[in-house]
Structure 1
Amino acid sequence: MPETNPKGLTGLAFGGDYNPEQWPESVWPEDVRLMREAGVTMVSVGIFSWALLEPARGTYEFGWLDRVLDLLHENGIRADLGTPTVAPPAWFYREHPEALPVAADGTRYAFGSRGAICHSNTDYRAAAASITTRLATRYADHPALALWHVHNEYGVPVSACYCDSCAAHFRRWLTGAYGTVDELNEAWGTAFWGQRYTDFDQVDPPRTTPTVGNPAQALDYRRFADATMRENFTAERDILHRLAPGIPVTTNFMTALSQCDSVDYWAWGREVDLVTNDHYLMTDGRRTQVNLAMAADLTRSVAGGAPWLLLEHSTSGVNWQPRNPAKAPGQMARNSLTHVARGSEGAMFFQWRQSRSGAEKFHSSMLPHAGTDSRVWREVVELGAAVDSLSSIKGTRTVADVAVLWDWQSWWAQSLQWRPSEDHDARERADAFYEALYDRHLTVDFAHPEADLSAYPLVVVPALYLMTEAAADNLREYVERGGTLLVSYFSGIVDEHDAVHEGPHPGALRDVLGLTVEEFSPLLQGELVRITGPDGSELTGDVWTEFVVPRGAETVWTYADGLAAGHPAVTRHRSGAGSAWYVSTRLATEGLDALIGWVADDARIAPRADVPRDVEVVRRTGESGTYVFAVNHTASDAKVSLDAHGTELLTGERAAGRLAVPAGAVRVVRLDT
């Protein structure tokens, strides 16, 4: 089995992207001196350095990188060494302009940014393999090397190219997937609108058409684009495994649902030795800590529950959103340690020293433009000490309470054109259900629809438009064996080819939910419906309603008005030893919270009403013990209950019974065994 822990890193990782090539060499000794002051244990190096390492084809200049790695090693700092294949040099594009990707409308992108790559291009693939081989041969035995970092944020900003090379590659991919053109026609439903093919050579990428194209073709092209990027990753990974055995290989994911929708991270998680993630706060007025927790939980889940590593986040503001506020005092530590609570083996940033030039010169860093006489620097130093004090948690695992089903391919399918309502957004539903669970202080594992769910008393399906028969069987068995299932509307509708499951909706979920849906009835923008319970209480829904017909399910709440008036809005179906709930409208926050409460009670999950809102309590456990993380995102002091005595690792104080967590602070208690 490949190694998964960064070589030589005995504690947690703390550091960031280090780009010494942006600065005179005379600055480098100051960098490493300040890194030691801040408690840095690892930095990422060389990610965008191809043009410096190979300034002309076959001409290499490694001397500067030799000196950087030697300097890091002399100061006890490990290196996450990048293969710079996200940014081919200008000379490469001058020789191979066809390696620049083409948009669906035929526009070829230009050199001058990053990630401008046609992943099907054979010249790019050969050049990427060449520079990777050179790096692996030269640095496999370097004492600073801890981790290989392939490429950077695959899928950002371009995942799919629509050029002729990709068209030919797509045809080969389809031939492997379907075998015969008749099978392709069947899967894509090409009898509709006369799109039938008689030869694979007739198939093109889903380029711009006069009106909506074939949705099954578009879905397969997203799969193809993702698989093509993954082919390039595994090619580099295999070179590194062969030439530098014992050094784990990763690439930085962006699992946060609001930031990257072009990569199937369930598939990618199986290919890396160590799952790593980049996360940046989306400062759009929502509670930023909720999306942060969600991203961390999702990354841990992609890692199969194993420890992972936060490879990038920001010390303060970013520079690429419409408005980029600074982080409040203490927020950097709260953000970082929340990731650690939810499974990360450290906290790393983009970047070490703030750039003076380029597109990201206003992006915050560990060492800001303001220098060491700044709040950011003082908080970086404090955080470095805090991360060091948590070294004993290394190897422990976060304990989850419930599972949320998520599938990137279902999201892709639902995001295609001509769905019943553009107001229904799979990501929004996932965010909303996650936030409701978060507010009940339940730690979430995300799971693929076909994964083993037996460990969870409650499984939530916020949006799963595409569902295979295998996934449907999995959910039915889960409920029959005693699980509690909650499903939201427009789930289980189509199969893996975006073809509607035969029979009434919700197709794959009819049996487990004990109902059918005669017709969808999406609401107009701003339109609301009332739903009422048996006790006369009332909730509000918007966006969506359905004509639900119980086929064994009991009605819990009923539409009081709208076209679906009198039809069930929320149902419960007992099946075997468990039960399956269904909600057929988009509930407002209060209604969704109430629904989660009923379903959690049904799953016999004890309420945690003693924990204040916006105070997170998360556990990690393993051979070294059990650790309770308490993160207070509020402006008031809080207290949380402990079920055992322990030692608070950040202050060294003893804790028993009730743990005091000051406003804006984090506390981590190692419980006595």
Structure 2
Amino acid sequence: MTHGRILFGGDYNPEQWPEETWYDDVRLMKDAGVNSVTLGVFSWAKLEPHPGAREFGWLDRLMDLMHAGGIGVVLATPTSSPPPWMGRLHPDTLPRDEDGRTEWWGGRQHFSHSSATYRRYAAAVTEDLAARYAGHPALTMWHINNEYCTYDYGDEAAAAFRRWLRDRYGTLDALNTAWGTAFWSQGYDSWDGILPPRRAHYLKNPGQVLDFRRFTSDALLECFLAERDIVRRHTPHTPVTTNFMPLWSGQDGWRWAEEEDVVSVDLYPDPRDPLGAQYGALVQDLTRSQARGPWMLMEQAAGPVNWRGANHPKPRGLNRLWSLQAVARGADAVCYFQWRQSRQGAEKFHSGMVGHAGERGRTFQEIKRIGAELREIGGEVAGTRLTAGVAVLHDWHSWWATDQDGRPSTHVGYPDVLRAWHRALWEAHLTADFAHPEHDLTAYRLVVVPQLYLLTDAAIDNLLAYVSGGGTLVCGFLTGIADEDDRIRPGGMDARLRGLFGIRTLHEWWPLEPGETVECEGGLRGTLWSEEIEAAGTADETVPYRGGELDGLPAVLRRGRAWYVSTLPEPEALRALLARVAAGAGVHPPLDGLPAGVEAVRRGELLFLLNHGREPVTVDVPGTHRDLLTGAAVTGRTTLGRYGVAVLKP
């Protein structure tokens, strides 16, 4: 992807500026070490001002200008934001929400993924764009659409949903069985009677909602593949990507990633969040795992965003720290939205690499430093890989099934549980990959399942085989409850998993109220959830609840190398538990005795040390290294300043 360098740059929207500004942009880009820009993301109205027209002259000049400046172009198809004329002339291209209300033009992402008209126009502009720039020397990568995130409950989407269901189930009997339509007299006698899960008087059918989430991901993927195949036909050796949103529920990210040449993500942690770095690490680990290697940070903010209640800027040094954290965790590209901060439009208060303060502003001066450092370390870092001894299992289908009404607790949020378990590993300095529950897990010494409510038979068999083969498994509550149709398994948990963990009977789920806790032996305190479990005689170790209705029953139990945790331990307790289990499985941090707030990650032979605190810290580092950022020799220890970073090579 990067040919021995780290890509550095961002979204460039020159159509918002007079042409004389473009030349100043190139000067500043070269000064900042920018080697890549993304062009054309929101340019459809500029490229096709009325139906069938093509205005490429401005883009021709930009492509030539970027090439002359030594800056590569990630060229985007503009299909995420259709021109107003499309909605006006073709209302069928506009999506509808679950109440039947039309989402009009005037913003972005106002397209129906199932509209034949939209798809025809999108294919046409993509075809002409690819044909025109296929041989241009500035072209380095294709960027399809932008942040696929639309839902559509309209009539054309309903027809497409029915076709998707026919392909999945074949017969109405099979669909009625999968959706459990015997409940509440919902049985279908005709395909034409099936609709998207529009507004209902009371709770919607969970099977219908789950399949609609699956269908929507697949419909959007069809849009991506149609455009991807067009550009590949014209430029078969040019990589193709589309940017994921961070930990976004709308797409089956495992399936989508298989169709991309480069996996990219947009990442915007809140600079006021004390765990912003951990959230960043989670998204970076997930994206690296989807890519199965180096990945692309397509968007981040150089300063404040514009959508939070209070949009705080990044304190001095934090942009650099989080950029290098992404590199530490596998990124071969560090990019921003956007290059120059807009003066008009909905995002004029969203920061840019060049802010309203201009080139003398602090933001741009920090950008220059980051660009220089990425250029310095790129030859040593780009293309290298991380090796993790831990895998965290994650599945979008399980998330979709969990994220519905009518569950035991509305306070249990899948991404919150996932983040809590990843935080425990992060604070224990244990780098983790993510994996699908049906992936090959044999490369990992420890597999962690924060929560997978829905598990297929193949996934359960995979977990049993992993433990049987010598792996260590730690599993959180509410896992293995339902099959792929969201049908509760007999006994409230799959019998194979109950046998694996040493559970005789799962009697009841006992969700907790916000702020409520349960006490356990050894000082462990549980939050959010608890379960009334009867242990089998084959359990090797238990940590019982103390007090209350569950007194004496196991909160944590182990059978062999399989652990089950029936509550969400408070952060320190969960960190201690996972650190203990990891050590027993032979997984250890890259350094011992790290100060609080310091993150240590190995990428290839390089050791990244990142200080997430505002005060200087000293880190003991056995042996002699060279800090690639400063060129200084490091023997025995090194000091990291406020938000400081060291990249150490033996």
In the TM superposition, residue 314 of structure 1 has moved relative to its aligned partner by 0.7
In the TM superposition, residue 115 of structure 1 has moved relative to its aligned partner by 0.5
Pairing partner for 2:241 from 250, 258, 265: 250
CA–CA separation in structure 2 for the residues paired with 1:329 and 1:495: 49
Pairing partner for 2:576 from 584, 587, 594: 594
Give the gaps of 5 or more residues in structure 2.
none
1:375 matched to which residue of 2?
362
CA–CA separation in structure 2 for the residues paired with 1:454 and 1:174: 35
- C-alpha distance after superposition, 1:316-359 (max 9, x if no partner): 11111111111111111101010011111021001000000011
Q: Does 1:523 align with 2:506?
A: no
Pairing partner for 2:602 from 606, 614, 619: 619
SS of 1:201 mapped into structure 2: helix
- C-alpha distance after superposition, 1:266-293 (max 9, x if no partner): 0110011111111001356342111011
- Counterpart AA for 1:74: A
- Counterpart AA for 1:351: Q
- C-alpha distance after superposition, 1:479-511 (max 9, x if no partner): 111111111111110011100112342555222
Q: What are the equivalent positions in structure 2 for 1:396-545 lying under 5 Å apart?
A: 396-507=384-495, 509-515=497-503, 516-532=505-521, 537-545=522-530
2:645 matched to which residue of 1?
666
1:656 matched to which residue of 2?
635
Q: Kindly indicate whether the alpha-carbon contact (under 8 Å) linking 2:92 and 2:117 is maintained by their aligned counterparts in 1.
A: no
CA–CA separation in structure 1 for the residues paired with 2:138 and 2:579: 51
- Counterpart AA for 1:580: A
Q: Kindly indicate whether the alpha-carbon contact (under 8 Å) linking 1:494 and 1:507 is maintained by their aligned counterparts in 2.
A: no
Pairing partner for 2:116 from 107, 119, 122: 122
Q: Kindly indicate whether the alpha-carbon contact (under 8 Å) linking 1:475 and 1:512 is maintained by their aligned counterparts in 2.
A: no
1:553 matched to which residue of 2?
539
Q: Kindly indicate whether the alpha-carbon contact (under 8 Å) linking 2:338 and 2:351 is maintained by their aligned counterparts in 1.
A: yes
Q: What are the equivalent positions in structure 2 for 1:294-309 lying under 5 Å apart?
A: 294-304=282-292, 306-309=293-296
1:328 matched to which residue of 2?
315
Q: Kindly indicate whether the alpha-carbon contact (under 8 Å) linking 1:315 and 1:364 is maintained by their aligned counterparts in 2.
A: yes
In the TM superposition, residue 206 of structure 1 has moved relative to its aligned partner by 0.8
Q: Kindly indicate whether the alpha-carbon contact (under 8 Å) linking 2:42 and 2:80 is maintained by their aligned counterparts in 1.
A: yes
In the TM superposition, residue 541 of structure 1 has moved relative to its aligned partner by 1.6
- C-alpha distance after superposition, 1:511-533 (max 9, x if no partner): 2212131111222343322111x
CA–CA separation in structure 2 for the residues paired with 1:656 and 1:322: 46
- Counterpart AA for 2:411: D
CA–CA separation in structure 2 for the residues paired with 1:332 and 1:13: 16
Q: Kindly indicate whether the alpha-carbon contact (under 8 Å) linking 2:87 and 2:104 is maintained by their aligned counterparts in 1.
A: no
**CA-atom RMSD, angstroms?**
1.5
Q: Does 1:42 align with 2:36?
A: yes
CA–CA separation in structure 1 for the residues paired with 2:66 and 2:227: 25
Pairing partner for 1:562 from 538, 548, 561: 548
Q: Which has the higher mean CA deviation after the structures are superposed, 659-668 or 438-447? A: 659-668
Q: Kindly indicate whether the alpha-carbon contact (under 8 Å) linking 1:309 and 1:345 is maintained by their aligned counterparts in 2.
A: yes
In the TM superposition, residue 609 of structure 1 has moved relative to its aligned partner by 4.0
**What is the TM-score when the length of structure 2 is the normalising length?**
0.97
CA–CA separation in structure 1 for the residues paired with 2:54 and 2:529: 60
Q: Kindly indicate whether the alpha-carbon contact (under 8 Å) linking 1:458 and 1:484 is maintained by their aligned counterparts in 2.
A: yes
Q: What are the equivalent positions in structure 2 for 1:336-355 lying under 5 Å apart?
A: 336-355=323-342
CA–CA separation in structure 1 for the residues paired with 2:427 and 2:528: 23
CA–CA separation in structure 1 for the residues paired with 2:523 and 2:641: 38
Q: Kindly indicate whether the alpha-carbon contact (under 8 Å) linking 1:81 and 1:145 is maintained by their aligned counterparts in 2.
A: yes
CA–CA separation in structure 2 for the residues paired with 1:482 and 1:457: 8
CA–CA separation in structure 1 for the residues paired with 2:143 and 2:495: 43
Structure 1's 286 and 415: CA in aligned 2 closer, same or farther, altered over 3 A? farther
- Counterpart AA for 2:565: V
In the TM superposition, residue 130 of structure 1 has moved relative to its aligned partner by 0.1
SS of 1:372 mapped into structure 2: helix
SS of 1:572 mapped into structure 2: strand
In the TM superposition, residue 121 of structure 1 has moved relative to its aligned partner by 0.2
1:144 matched to which residue of 2?
138
CA–CA separation in structure 2 for the residues paired with 1:293 and 1:458: 19
Q: What are the equivalent positions in structure 2 for 1:95-244 lying under 5 Å apart?
A: 95-155=89-149, 158=150, 160-244=151-235
In the TM superposition, residue 455 of structure 1 has moved relative to its aligned partner by 1.4
Q: Kindly indicate whether the alpha-carbon contact (under 8 Å) linking 1:50 and 1:89 is maintained by their aligned counterparts in 2.
A: yes
Identity rate, percent: 46
Q: Which has the higher mean CA deviation after the structures are superposed, 500-509 or 172-181? A: 500-509
Q: Kindly indicate whether the alpha-carbon contact (under 8 Å) linking 2:287 and 2:295 is maintained by their aligned counterparts in 1.
A: yes
In the TM superposition, residue 433 of structure 1 has moved relative to its aligned partner by 0.8
CA–CA separation in structure 1 for the residues paired with 2:348 and 2:374: 27
Q: Does 1:635 align with 2:614?
A: yes
In the TM superposition, residue 640 of structure 1 has moved relative to its aligned partner by 3.6
Q: Which has the higher mean CA deviation after the structures are superposed, 504-513 or 268-277? A: 504-513
Q: Kindly indicate whether the alpha-carbon contact (under 8 Å) linking 2:613 and 2:642 is maintained by their aligned counterparts in 1.
A: yes
CA–CA separation in structure 1 for the residues paired with 2:290 and 2:601: 18
CA–CA separation in structure 1 for the residues paired with 2:43 and 2:291: 29
- Counterpart AA for 1:386: E
In the TM superposition, residue 50 of structure 1 has moved relative to its aligned partner by 0.4
CA–CA separation in structure 1 for the residues paired with 2:470 and 2:123: 51
1:86 matched to which residue of 2?
80
CA–CA separation in structure 2 for the residues paired with 1:380 and 1:284: 20
**What is the TM-score when the length of structure 1 is the normalising length?**
0.94
Q: Kindly indicate whether the alpha-carbon contact (under 8 Å) linking 1:468 and 1:508 is maintained by their aligned counterparts in 2.
A: no
Q: Kindly indicate whether the alpha-carbon contact (under 8 Å) linking 2:430 and 2:588 is maintained by their aligned counterparts in 1.
A: no
Q: Kindly indicate whether the alpha-carbon contact (under 8 Å) linking 1:492 and 1:507 is maintained by their aligned counterparts in 2.
A: no
2:302 matched to which residue of 1?
315
* Residue correspondences, number: 646
Give the gaps of 5 or more residues in structure 1.
none
Structure 1's 635 and 430: CA in aligned 2 closer, same or farther, altered over 3 A? same
In the TM superposition, residue 10 of structure 1 has moved relative to its aligned partner by 5.1
SS of 1:397 mapped into structure 2: coil
CA–CA separation in structure 1 for the residues paired with 2:23 and 2:383: 33
CA–CA separation in structure 2 for the residues paired with 1:487 and 1:480: 15
SS of 1:167 mapped into structure 2: helix
CA–CA separation in structure 1 for the residues paired with 2:4 and 2:237: 15
In the TM superposition, residue 629 of structure 1 has moved relative to its aligned partner by 1.1
